Chains A and B, each alone.
Chain A
């Protein structure tokens, strides 16, 4: 204030040392402000970069998980299909014990597949529902096979149909998920 007042009334060569201290202080404040602003800008840039990196890492993890799930399903679904064929064979040859064992194998394997599928997003409700339905009917058929003595097919016709329906749905799901497991351009980046 004093320096400004002095400068207004006299030439700059007439300003005393007290006035110069004020002028230099003002300049130093401006420089300090500039450095503070530059640091804040750098910090913001770093934060944005960190956010982008975190997002990329998250996408990469998700993609890897999807690929692992897809690979697992490529192995598990043919196994389910094979068990379904074994069930059909044991029913056709009227082998009670073998049919019961095959239903038990189906339940075991189907629950494994169900566990893998339930981690997928969005949750494949149709496939999970079909698997749960087949597992329920396989359990009921196993109990009926233990009790009954008639024709095997009469005790497990619905279980067999439900297992085949689940296999068909899962085949379609595997095809779809194999496509989704391939990263898009957006996921890979430019």
Chain B
């Protein structure tokens, strides 16, 4: 398989994982690294990683032995620093990482709980 085909396939996996995460049909989990999240199936896993120093996002596909059989790591497009848009594929990886983080940390639920606690505080 050529590099281009591999790239296209990984982007397709990232897009599908993003859709499934946003639809809440898959749940991501945290790792000991606070910028890394993973989703594990029965024989494969996806790992969404972020490298703050480079501003890069990475998606790795692991097999049942934990070996990264394919990965894609994209940095923001350096030729277009004026825009927040780092490129279509970069944006997919960025959105996937954000969605994975939201799923793993249950940000929605935690924010709702925080708001509830604030509203429940009795007056002085």
Name A's B-contacting residues (CB within 8 A).
107-108, 111, 114-115, 118, 123, 125, 128-129, 131-133, 135-141, 144, 154-159
Contacts and interface: CB of A to CB of B under 8 A. Distances in A.
Given A140-B33, A158-B30, A133 B40 contact: yes
Interface-centre pick from A136, A137, A156 (highest chain B CB count, 10 A): A136
Nearest to B31: A140
Interface stretch (B58-66, B76-84, B115-123): B58-66
B51 to A, nearest CB: 12
Contact of A144 (B33, B38, B66, B67): B33
Nearest to A106: B66
Interface string B36-77: 101011111101000000000000001111111000000000
Contact of B42 (A132, A138, A141): A132
Given A136-B45, A137-B38, A111 B32 contact: no
Contacts of A141: 32
Contact of A111 (B33, B42, B66): B66
